[in-house]
Amino acid sequence: MLISIASGKGGTGKTTLALLLAAAEPDITLIDCDVEEPNCHLFLKPEWHGQGKEITVMVPRINSNLCNGCSACSVVCLFNAIAISGGKALLFDELCHSCGGCILACQYGAIKEEKKPIGTITTGTSPILPNIHLLNGTLHIGTPSSVPLIKAIKQEVSDLKVDMLLDCPPGTSCSMVTAVKNSDFCILVTEPTPFGKHDLELAMNITRLLHMPTGVVINKNDEATGDKSIESLCQSRDIPVLAKIPHSLSFAKQYAAGFIPDEFKSIAINIWKQLHAERREEA
Amino acid sequence: MKELVIVSGKGGTGKTSISGALAFLSPQKVMVDCDVDAANFHLISSAVIKHTHEFKAGFEPHIDEEACTHCATCTDLCRFGAITAGVINTPLNCEGCGVCAFNCPEHAITMQEKEAGQWFVSDTRFGQLIHAELGLAIENSGKLVSKVRQEAKKIATTNHFPLIITDGPPGIGCPAIAALSGASLALAVVEPSLSSMHDLERLVELVYHFNLPIMVCINKSTLHKENTKQIIDWCNSKAIPIAGKLPYSDAFRTAVQSGKTVMEITDENVKEQMTKLWHNLAKRLDVPAQLSGIGLLRQKLNLF
Amino acid sequence: MKIAITSHGEDRHSEVDSRFGRADYFILYDQETDTWDSLPNTQNLEAAHGAGIQAGQSLAKTGAKILITGHVGPKAFKVLDAEKITMYSMGDLTGTVEDALAAFLAGKLMTIDVPGASHGK
């Protein structure tokens, strides 16, 4: 079962929940898909297996000797990644989406493809929590899009027949969608503030678009405020609230120091019960 | 005219709370919310939308079903698995590259501009706000970020405002890059947690990559004193000035819950530290920290 | 030789603009005919993305072979380099377009060999 953990708003506790859930299962693969800012490894302090795998995308290389500046490639590039300057085609690979359109358009064989590194995938085992197998994606600084790296990570794990947790990037645009797509269940983590609620709704719109079974975890909850607006939102969307994790300053301090304490283990076990029941229902 | 862009790397460190407080404190500015796929600034500024604009970015294929012979040339050429024999079976996979359209033997596919979202000009308690909402699951958030910043510059120029305050997005990808490009000063908001410190290092590398001046603000500084010290030492070693330190306080949460900024909530310590932060930033940006006598008079008379 | 200078205003008495891609105007001075011309940089207003590339191409069309500005971003740099336009930086210099031209002719300006902001930190 592939369970993605996403949010909409940043900082609600995706990584925290991912680690809590991972700690509570006997044998689990945890995938850190927040490739711009991966954090799981800071808490797990894993022993890495080797140097990892370099992930590349194909980008065009223009042979200026064969190029006559006819601009056929520039015309078909809808990402404006090719400009004609000095009578030759000039590539801006940071804008390139690797679609191959320019190669198809060139009548003079002046464009070939070559690999460009965008990030790495590393795997490791945590000495602190040996039941967790960590797969971590890190984007090279300056690479604009995390989408190809996230796709590569999903591809790496597509054949695995084990239970997996996917720590997703924040937001609701292309990188979050790429991470959440094709998972079996999506847990949306929110906080009971107007920011949390606003962004939760946007994230719910995404999971609805993906026809993805969804559940919500309310983190940093404070029963004293009596704010039930998130619960009402979930009810109106027919999405279950899987858990409410209380706001805890002691937990926050431990988290700041890089530890996930046992404080909420029973909540994590309870979430797993609901997820396993969900799996039995689907089967 | 100067632009202050507030970024963080890690989400949830307090960018929007701080942007809101700075908007409260700064005399003449335009505000921009660049977190276009999860925009929050309007929630604490009593924003009233005055103008709505459509935003088009990228392209999508349209198929002429009568001309299509289902030859499946497009299936083989599409690298994203979005189209099969003239049917866009997985629109979410489509990147709008046009390879199907440009290579269809029957010319049955045309590429048309895609509706990608909306951007707004709103009035708020602090002045004008440019913000946006990206369409569902859309790419090109960087373009929308660039758009709202551009529009803010136009408004600031017309009104002779010396400052644009830009609430940035999390991460270090294209939305963050688009928010930072050409900024006068980047303010990196960090909290004393391992995650945030790790993410700050990556953010700073990005900022250097683009040759921008940077200052740091440590938010929730009292949460973990050792980590705060570590951040200070690290910044000193990199010659990155620390513009402010804000204590951990429930005032931040109370403020958000009531749709206000922390400057409007009674925590004098937070207010004092935030004011110090603002003065340090104003000095670095070389913009006036408060209205001059004439400025105050003009404001009272409701002139701009 | 035609020389281009980035400017906030539309003539040679205007303040120099340190940006290239989003400069307000390009002021053009033709050394051979001792004449001035100006080109509004519409990329500044219209393009949300890739302003540098388009500005570079617009400038190339004018026939200018020298550019005097503050700094040039990486994409614009690539285009200008491909078009064999030599770039000079005004550095900390402020003043009018005419001042910038005088500084260039007196050999006081440095060439821009790599893209990026020349002011900052």
Tell me the C-alpha to C-alpha distance, in Å, between residue A219 and each of A171, A202, B227. 17, 17, 23
Residue A282 pLDDT greater than 90, yes or no: no
| Three-state DSSP state, C88 | strand
Q: Which residue has the tokens 């795998």?
A: A53
By C-alpha distance, which of A232, A253, A236, A169 is closest to B226? A253
- Return the residue in C53, C65, C87 with the most chain A beta carbons within 10 A, the one to mutate for interface testing: C53
Band of pLDDT at residue A95, cut at 50, 70 and 90: confident
The Cα A218–Cα C1 span in angstroms is 67
CB contact residues (below 8 A), chain B span 233-262, against chain A:
253, 256-257, 259
Backbone angles phi, psi at A67, to 5 degrees: -80, 130
Closest chain C residue to A95, measured at CA: C50
Q: How far is A86 from chain C (nearest CA, A)?
A: 4
pLDDT at A109: 96
Q: How far is A217 from chain B (nearest CA, A)?
A: 16
**Cβ contact (<8 Å) for B95 and A99?**
yes
Residue B147: its chain C contacts at CB < 8 A?
48
Closest chain A residue to C49, measured at CA: A80
List, in order of start, the domains of chain C with CATH numbers.
2-111 (3.30.420.130)
Answer whether A15's CB lies under 8 Å from A34's CB.
yes
Residue B191: its chain A contacts at CB < 8 A?
256
CB contact residues (below 8 A), chain C span 74-93, against chain B:
none
- The predicted model scores a pTM of 0.84
Other residues' Cβ atoms within 10 Å of the Cβ of residue B183: 23
Band of pLDDT at residue B170, cut at 50, 70 and 90: confident
Q: How far is A253 from chain B (nearest CA, A)?
A: 6
The Cα A222–Cα A218 span in angstroms is 10
The Cα B291–Cα B285 span in angstroms is 16
The Cα A265–Cα A274 span in angstroms is 15
Helix H or strand E segment including B25:
helix B15-25
| Three-state DSSP state, A54 | strand
The conformation of residue A106, written as its DSSP 8-state character, comes to: -
Residue B142: its chain C contacts at CB < 8 A?
49
Q: Please tell me if residue B229 touches chain A, with a CB cutoff of 8 Å.
A: no
Tens of pLDDT, residues B114-167: 998 999 999 999 999 999 998 887 776 888 898 899 899 889 989 999 999 999
Band of pLDDT at residue C44, cut at 50, 70 and 90: low
Tell me the C-alpha to C-alpha distance, in Å, between residue C2 and each of C43, C84, C110. 21, 13, 18
**Cβ contact (<8 Å) for B182 and C22?**
yes
**Cβ contact (<8 Å) for C53 and A92?**
yes
Which distant-in-sequence residues (6+ apart) come within 8 Å of A159 by Cβ?
none
Residue C45 pLDDT greater than 70, yes or no: no
The two tokens of residue C57 are 């191409």
As a 3-state breakdown, chain B gives helix, strand, coil percent values, each rounded to 5, of 40, 25, 35
- Return the residue in B55, B211, B238 with the most chain C beta carbons within 10 A, the one to mutate for interface testing: B211
Closest chain C residue to A86, measured at CA: C83
Strand partners, B33: B167
Name which of C48, C116, C120 is nearest B147 (Cβ-Cβ).
C48
pLDDT at C119: 33
Q: How far is C47 from chain A (nearest CA, A)?
A: 12
Answer whether C93's CB lies under 8 Å from C85's CB.
no
**Cβ contact (<8 Å) for B11 and A10?**
yes
On the CB side of A111, how many CA atoms lie within 13 Å of its CA?
24
Q: Please tell me if residue C50 touches chain B, with a CB cutoff of 8 Å.
A: no
Chains that touch A (3 or more CB pairs under 8 A): B, C
Q: How far is B271 from chain A (nearest CA, A)?
A: 21
Other residues' Cβ atoms within 10 Å of the Cβ of residue B37: 29
Maximum Cα–Cα distance across chain A:
72
Strand partners, A90: A83
Tens of pLDDT, residues A99-154: 999 999 999 999 999 999 999 999 999 998 999 999 999 999 878 789 999 999 99
In angstroms, what is the C-alpha Rg of chain C?
Answer: 13
Tell me the C-alpha to C-alpha distance, in Å, between residue C86 and each of A83, C81, C89, C110, C113. 19, 7, 10, 11, 9
Per DSSP bridges, beta strands B185-190 and B214-218 are parallel
What percent of chain B has a predicted confidence (pLDDT) above 70? 95
Q: How far is B74 from chain C (nearest CA, A)?
A: 29
**Cβ contact (<8 Å) for C83 and A86?**
yes
The conformation of residue A168, written as its DSSP 8-state character, comes to: -
Residue C121 pLDDT greater than 50, yes or no: no
pLDDT at C120: 28
Task: Read off the pLDDT of each residue in C60-84 and give the average, rounded to a whole number.
Answer: 92
Tens of pLDDT, residues A2-39: 999 999 888 899 999 999 999 999 999 999 999 988 99
The Cα B295–Cα B291 span in angstroms is 5
- Return the residue in A90, A91, A94 with the most chain C beta carbons within 10 A, the one to mutate for interface testing: A90
Q: Please tell me if residue C57 touches chain A, with a CB cutoff of 8 Å.
A: yes
Backbone angles phi, psi at C40, to 5 degrees: -70, 140
pLDDT at C75: 87
pLDDT at B35: 87
Residue B178: its chain C contacts at CB < 8 A?
49
Closest chain A residue to C56, measured at CA: A85
Q: What is the ipTM of this complex?
A: 0.85
One DSSP character per residue, C42-61 reads THHHH-SS-HHHHHHHHHHH
Closest chain A residue to C53, measured at CA: A83
Q: Please tell me if residue C120 touches chain B, with a CB cutoff of 8 Å.
A: yes
Q: What is the average pLDDT value for chain A, to the nearest integer?
A: 92
Q: Is B11 exposed, middle or buried (CB count within 10 Å of its CB: 0-12, 13-18, 19+)?
A: buried
**Cβ contact (<8 Å) for A85 and C57?**
yes
**Cβ contact (<8 Å) for C48 and B143?**
yes
Q: How far is B122 from chain A (nearest CA, A)?
A: 18
Residue C19: its chain B contacts at CB < 8 A?
182
The two tokens of residue B237 are 């070693």
The Cα C47–Cα B143 span in angstroms is 9
The Cα C76–Cα C80 span in angstroms is 6
CA B256 to chain centroid, in Å, comes to 18
The conformation of residue A107, written as its DSSP 8-state character, comes to: S
**Cβ contact (<8 Å) for C79 and A95?**
no
By C-alpha distance, which of B203, B194, B137, B138 is closest to B169? B203
The two tokens of residue A268 are 């994590």
- Return the residue in C62, C65, C75 with the most chain A beta carbons within 10 A, the one to mutate for interface testing: C75
| Top-confidence residue, C91 or B165 | B165
Backbone angles phi, psi at B242, to 5 degrees: -100, 115
Name which of A80, A84, A90 is nearest C78 (Cβ-Cβ).
A90
Q: Please tell me if residue A258 touches chain B, with a CB cutoff of 8 Å.
A: yes
Name which of A10, A173, A194 is nearest B257 (Cβ-Cβ).
A194
Q: Please tell me if residue B20 touches chain A, with a CB cutoff of 8 Å.
A: no
The Cα B84–Cα C85 span in angstroms is 47
